[in-house]
Amino acid sequence: MGDYIETDDVVLLLDNYHSDSRNLHTSFKLAGKSYPVAVIEDDGFLPEDVMSVFGFFLGDFSVEPGVPGRARYFNQIDVPEYWEISGNNSGGKVHDLGKERGRIFYAEPAHKRLVKVVDWYDERGIVRSSDHYNKYGALYARTIFNAKGQRVNKSYFSPSGKEVIMENYVTKNIILNDGDVVRIFSSREEFVCYFLKAAGLEDRKIYFNTLSTSFFVSQRMGGNGTGDVLFWQEPIRGEIPGNMRIILAGNATRTHKIMVQKKDAYERLLELGAPADQIHLLGYIYPFKKENQHKPEALICTNSDRIAKCRELAEALPEMHFYIVALTEMSSKLMSMDSYSNVTLYPGVKMHVYEELLEKCDFYLDINHEGEILSAVQNAFLHNHLILAFKETMHNPGFVAEEHVYGAEDADKMITCIREVMRDRNSMEKHLEMQRKAALLESPEKYCEI
């Protein structure tokens, strides 16, 4: 379960470990608060310092003989003889004589092609089961579906393959084989409460980030009065969510404070009449990798040859060098950019080269159409790149200042901004400050005050 520094009577209880959950966890660590973290929806690839609520009861996959010890590559799953496995950087498929029998889903980053889930189809093409693999390459869970493709139950296995937990999605019951005792829980919330007691965390305040399972767990737990805190990381669509109204009305069992981590959501809550003394705007602490060196070098990451205004930028800014990277081979259209002396192309880029370019460059241009690769915008932010984007291509607006987003028809304005900051170091710092403000960069002191 990892080693924890006992700094306070708090546990972070997270429904899943998405990017905002990770940012919250990182922020507390950077503030010197190494709270234990428990995640309810475990995808099998949690960091070493994060506990899995279900995985807590399964055993240690890192030491069990027979477990591969590392995540499976897409072509390492078990299939019947003569079935064919194929894959690309987006996902994989399993075929039997041309008929699709399974689909492979990767853990992030997807380009590594490490297996997270394999869906298996029946003769009609309906998913009937999903095999869940973890970072040790072990099959740790299996979900069963009915003939309509609806979830029925999910079983969790020990490293030796013994069924330890079965969650029934129809009855909502969870059965736990807890040593020699079989325990039956009527709901997921009851099961998580048992986990907190088994892990010795039942007397701690709960910091949580959804109004789903973790909120209901907070409602069920007794003990410490009103110390629990909701960290709201989602947009507000329409009215205030019903469970949030319970907190704002003072009717929650233990939660009376809400830390809102999106500026738009905070402003919307105030518009809807949320009491200003109960909601507080709180950003994240980011682990910046380097300082901006004020060098005229820009990085572009793409998974297609559609890069908006690429030629116009290269021609208008001969003093800037553009590094364009892709995980795959590049089309002849994109390869033709190699004719510009201030453009360097990296088809099939290696990770060490990508990391060197993050260190080398001080600008990131989020101007590629199609999907984002390599979490490029967030990585550029953490490396103190000045990030400029087009409205039509922007992938991660949380890290881009509104002033740095242009319509593609206004590429000349982007060019003007680049020229300005290349000439003046003070201008660069001013624009970086806009970017950090847009990303709600927070101080460690603010986290220590919660």
Q: What is the pLDDT along the chain (450 residues), one digit of tens a residue?
A: 333 334 469 999 999 999 999 999 999 999 999 999 999 999 999 999 999 999 999 999 988 887 888 999 999 999 999 999 999 988 999 999 989 999 999 999 888 999 999 999 999 999 999 999 999 999 999 999 999 999 999 999 999 999 999 999 999 999 999 989 999 999 999 999 999 999 999 999 999 999 999 999 999 987 666 689 999 999 998 999 999 999 999 999 999 899 999 999 999 999 999 999 999 999 999 999 999 999 999 999 999 999 999 999 999 999 999 999 999 999 999 999 999 999 999 999 999 999 999 999 999 999 999 999 999 999 999 999 999 999 999 999 999 999 999 999 999 999 999 999 999 989 999 999 999 999 999 999 999 998
* Residues shown for the chain: 450
- Phi first, then psi: give them for residue 169, nearest 5 degrees: -75, -15
Q: Which residues fall within 8 angstroms of residue 248, CB to CB, at 6 or more apart?
A: 240, 258, 274, 275, 278, 279
- Degrees (nearest 5) of the Cα angle 138, 143, 148? 150
Among the listed residues 82, 81, 80, 121, the one whose alpha carbon sits nearest the alpha carbon of residue 100: 121
**What is d(CA 23, CA 119) in angstroms, rounded to the nearest whole number?**
30
| CATH superfamily to which 297-438 belongs | Glycogen Phosphorylase B; (3.40.50.2000)
Q: Give residue limits of the domains in the chain.
A: 10-56+187-281, 74-157, 297-438
Domain 10-56+187-281 grouped into CATH 3.40.630.30: no
Domain pair 10-56+187-281 / 297-438, same fold: yes
pTM: 0.91
